Structure 1
């Protein structure tokens, strides 16, 4: 069961360049760390450590950077590696900016 923020976060990505992998209407995670990275990003954004849209734009940028240097059929593609890199970027930026969570 998703919280309202989780629903908002996933819904904001549907049909966009950063849409997460889905199968049968559910998010797909090949490894436990992928689910954990997903949950961590949602929780940190929900708690005000960074704006969700800031994270989404970082993710879109990471996906574009990967696509610019790899063939689309490259078996090394992993959506959640881009996700994790984007999460690291926005978390680091938030820490250096001295951003404090809201609420």
Structure 2
């Protein structure tokens, strides 16, 4: 019910209900978008980059040729910016990111519908 959803602070404390004019509190169309958002926030909170570096990386992706004018690929740009910044800051290289992404993809395909996707579900996990 709009207006009855409880917002939570990062520490899990309830901060109050949503205002009644907000009918859909989620800006994310898919769970992976929320996860990519959370990764950026978490890496920033750990001091791995500052917001100006993030804004610059995201802006570069949003200005690339072929980006959807309607913003439908905004979180694809977000993810590419995250990957680029992780490489630039030597947090993780392209190959490491690709290997882990492939493992998650295999895990997702091997997970029964309705069950949580765990990296341990990757059939190639050792």
Runs of 4+ in 1 over 4 A off after TM superposition: none
Q: What pairs up with 1:2-81 in 2 under 5 angstroms?
A: 2-3=9-10, 24=22, 26-65=25-64, 68-70=65-67, 72-73=69-70, 77-81=72-76
Does the Cα contact within 8 Å between 2:67 and 2:73 map onto a contact in 1? no
Pair 1:30–1:47, CA change in 2 (3 A): same
Q: Larger relative CO (CA 8 A, sep 6+): 1 or 2?
A: 1
Calculate the TM-score normalised by the size of structure 1: 0.59
How far apart in 1 are the matches of 2:53 and 2:37? 15
Pair 1:94–1:30, CA change in 2 (3 A): same
Count how many residue pairs are aligned between Structure 1 and Structure 2: 73
> Where in structure 1 are there 5+ consecutive unaligned residues?
4-22, 97-103
CA RMSD of aligned residues (A): 2.6
Which of structures 1 and 2 has the bigger CA Rg?
2
> Where in structure 2 are there 5+ consecutive unaligned residues?
1-7, 11-20, 92-126
Pair 1:70–1:41, CA change in 2 (3 A): closer
